[in-house]
Structure 1
């Protein structure tokens, strides 16, 4: 099949609309993963086993099952008990919950990397627990894990094609629709692949800038 430049340029707007949907799902899902992941990491440090055990079990269950299965459960099974959302909302929620379990481990490693002397100093000064976390521990832990958090952003973005399983019209599903309409395979999937590559490279560059700006641990 020969490459048709006219057709390739004609389908760019449709594919870009799909890319915007993929970026929306990634952005919403990533914000949720960062917040929920931090919550999970803190809950797993609770001295109460009634908290740590259920949180650990749920986290392992999510980590050990495929994202695609979780998408089907969220989109096709939850409506049977009266819980239903728009496909894009389900996709962002599932991505966020799925990656939150991985992000929580990243946060945990950063927290464990804070020198023991910092904890001992906080105890000696009798600082309030909230201030210990917000002013001492997290400002040292988060910069340590920024590179790993950035990697999960890229991984989440590359997982957005799986949202086709729940009828989210992102760039890959748009390419499939164009292929089924015109029976031309080369142009839709090539342009879609170029979009993924360019956006991923831009994300990678921005993450490096963030890492250089915020990735240094402040001395306490």
Structure 2
């Protein structure tokens, strides 16, 4: 089978609809993962041993089970428990929670890298615990963590095709539907790969630019 530009042009508007869903799912899932990942780290610092054990156990469970299984549970199993979520909501929540377990490791490493003298200086200045975290610890912890977070953003983007397994018509879902309709998969699937590569390169450039601006403020 050879490349047919006619079918490629037919596929582009269809893939554009899926591209929008892919971008929305990526951005919202990563935002959720970034917030939940930080909350996980903060929860592990709570003095209660029970809370720490529950949080760490949940974190290990999420990292230790496939994302596909987690998405299937959210979309196909929860309705049996009278909890029904829209497909896109399940996808965003599932991706966000899954990657939160990984981003928590990034945050943890960044926080561990803050010099002990910074904590002592904050106490010497009579800063509250909240002020210490907001003004001293988190700015220093997040800055070196930014490139790694950018890598996870790209990884999450490349995971979005799995959402088609729960009926979300992202780019891969639209490409499969187009292929089923026209009995041609070469053009739509190839275009999906090119689009993912282009978005990934753009995301890498944006995160690299932001990191350089943070490292060398004007």
Q: Which digits, 9 at most, give the CA deviation of each residue in 1:156-180, with x for residues without a partner?
A: 0000011111000011111111111
| Structure 2 spans left out of the alignment, 5+ residues | none
1:51-200 matches, cutoff 5 A: 51-200=51-200
Contact 1:144 1:216 (8 Å CA) reproduced: no
Q: List structure 1 runs of 4+ shifted beyond 4 angstroms.
A: none
Q: 1:149 to 1:216 in 2, by over 3 A?
A: farther
Tell me the distance in 2 between the aligned counterparts of 1:211 and 1:162. Answer: 29
The answer to which of 194-203 and 151-160 deviates more is: 194-203
| Structure 1 spans left out of the alignment, 5+ residues | none
Tell me the distance in 2 between the aligned counterparts of 1:82 and 1:129. Answer: 41
Tell me the distance in 1 between the aligned counterparts of 2:202 and 2:85. Answer: 31
State the secondary structure of the residue aligned to 2:21. Answer: helix
Q: Which digits, 9 at most, give the CA deviation of each residue in 1:74-112, with x for residues without a partner?
A: 101111111111111110000000000100110010000
Given the two structures, how large is their TM-score scaled by the length of structure 1?
A: 0.95
Given the two structures, how large is their TM-score scaled by the length of structure 2?
A: 0.96
Displacement after TM superposition at 1:44 (Å): 1.0
Q: How many residues align?
A: 217
